[in-house]
Amino acid sequence: MTSSFDLAQRLQQRRQQQLYRQRRLLGSAQGAQVRVDGRDCLAFCNNDYLGLANHPYLAEAMAKAARQYGVGSGASHLVLGHSELHHQLEEALARFCQRPRALLFSTGYMANLGTLTALLDKQGAVFEDRLNHASLLDGGLLSGARFQRYLHNDVASLRQRLASSEASAKLVVTDGVFSMDGDIAPLPQLAEACQQAGAWLMVDDAHGFGVLGEQGYGCLEHFALNHQQVPILMGTLGKALGTAGAFVAGSEELIEALIQFARPYIYTTAMPPAVAAATLASLQLVQQESWRRQHLQQLIRWFSQQALAEGLPLMPSSTPIQPLLVGEAERALALSESLWQKGMLVTAIRPPTVPAGSARLRITLSAAHSQADVEHLLDALLQSWREVQGG
């Protein structure tokens, strides 16, 4: 019997377009050196920016909490899953972000979906940077609000759309650091445009939190922006903090509204309390060990200067995300494969994750890397680039 879903045809089409995705098998903890598909290699594609995902202090905190609180939370937050450890973490995150309150979500995807759908309905309007993360775009669409995208990091394009909107509730949403591009949103200018138009600004700081600012508080510390300028801050815990989950921080009213109305908060099992315990430990290290951010910044500066001086088409970025723009998906795959043959793992990012014709290698640097690791990467990249150009 033939299926009316046409799965075979769709899969075949993906293969033909060089867009088929396959998972590699990680056989070690996360870090600079990993074991992948049975081979040891140097990895430049995780989001463990501070090298905390395999830190013994976090592992010990998690193990200790698991012995005391068990491994599963056993229920949603609103039933019986909200443990003392979750609560302590929410309080610690609120203090760190200098906001009245914070609310934990099981993933960043759910935090974005939950926040946007809880705040917006058909009467509202949402304005999103066109390169926002999929979870922000999906949340905006699902909310039923009037949905508009503005040009990437283009404040004039946003202002124009805000001016022509008659919606009673307007929400502007942006990545803080763009996940596939590594550039930072012009938050002071976006905040000003929002204040003038009576709109709220929501920043998803998945890739800035822990990394940017002297304390690691992220994009808002980087630009010295306060709670009034950015009423909604979302951050993830599975990237620089090395654990899993996410949070939204803001006013008392915002957090209470999310507890009442955010369906991805209400209708799901709470993260295991041991993950909250590991994140509390991680938050301590983020604050105490500023050398991680300093080392990372040195690696970023060295790598971007050298790569550009050698003529590699790095995209402009001062963050750990250092994308190398390739263009065609097929060439990006060939480059990634050539690096793999040299013992380096850097994934090719292709459409639909990025716009057609802008396939790239998403190179990420981490405080776990040494200067020598990054020098190896640069040598390998230069060789592979020549090979793929010549081929």
Ligand X SMILES: Cc1ncc(COP(=O)(O)O)c(C=O)c1O
Q: Is the distance from CB of 241 to CB of 62 less than 8 angstroms?
A: no
Q: What distance separates the 2 farthest-apart alpha carbons in the chain? A: 62
Query: In this complex, which beta carbon is closest to ligand X, that of residue 238 or of residue 381?
Result: 238
Please identify which of the residues 239, 295, 338, 384 carries the catalytic annotation. 239
Q: Closest Cα partner for 214 from 227, 199, 224, 205?
A: 224
Query: In this complex, which beta carbon is closest to ligand X, that of residue 206 or of residue 368?
Result: 206
Site residues for ligand X, window 223-252 (CB under 6 A)?
236, 238, 246
* By the rule CB under 6 A, 347 interacts with ligand X: no
Residue type, 319: T
Please identify which of the residues 83, 106, 179, 384 carries the catalytic annotation. 179
Name the token pair of 390. Answer: 């010549």
- The answer on whether 109 is annotated among ligand-binding residues is yes
Distance CA 258, CA 266 (A): 9
Query: In this complex, which beta carbon is closest to ligand X, that of residue 103 or of residue 334?
Result: 103
Distance CA 28, CA 23 (A): 15
Query: In this complex, which beta carbon is closest to ligand X, that of residue 55 or of residue 207?
Result: 207
* By the rule CB under 6 A, 49 interacts with ligand X: no
Distance CA 114, CA 130 (A): 20
Site string for ligand X, 84-123 (x = CB under 6 A): -----------------------xxx--x-----------
- Burial of residue 325 (CB within 10 Å: 0-12, 13-18, 19+) is middle
Cα-Cα-Cα-Cα dihedral sign, residues 83, 84, 89, 90? positive
Q: Measured in whole angstroms, how far is the alpha carbon of residue 235 from the centre of its chain? A: 8
The DSSP letter of residue 200 is: E
* By the rule CB under 6 A, 135 interacts with ligand X: yes
The DSSP letter of residue 123 is: T
Q: Is the distance from CB of 172 to CB of 345 less than 8 angstroms?
A: no
Please identify which of the residues 82, 207, 222, 295 carries the catalytic annotation. 207
* By the rule CB under 6 A, 48 interacts with ligand X: no
Site residues for ligand X, window 252-291 (CB under 6 A)?
none
The CA distances from residue 291 to 158, 219, 287, in Å, are 37, 18, 10
- The answer on whether 179 is annotated among ligand-binding residues is yes
- The answer on whether 207 is annotated among ligand-binding residues is yes
Distance CA 142, CA 117 (A): 7
Check if 87 is active-site.
no
**Whose CB is nearest to ligand X?**
108
Check if 290 is active-site.
no
Q: Which of 82, 101, 133, 146 binds ligand X (CB under 6 A)?
A: 133
Site string for ligand X, 173-192 (x = CB under 6 A): --x---x-------------
* By the rule CB under 6 A, 206 interacts with ligand X: yes
Query: In this complex, which beta carbon is closest to ligand X, that of residue 133 or of residue 350?
Result: 133
Check if 239 is active-site.
yes
Q: Closest Cα partner for 239 from 78, 49, 371, 389?
A: 49
Annotated binding site for pyridoxal 5'-phosphate: 108-109, 179, 207, 236
Write out the residues near ligand X by the rule CB under 6 A.
107-109, 112, 133, 135, 175, 179, 204, 206, 236, 238, 246
Q: Which residues are the active-site residues?
A: 179, 207, 239
Annotated binding site: 21, 108-109, 133, 179, 207, 236, 353
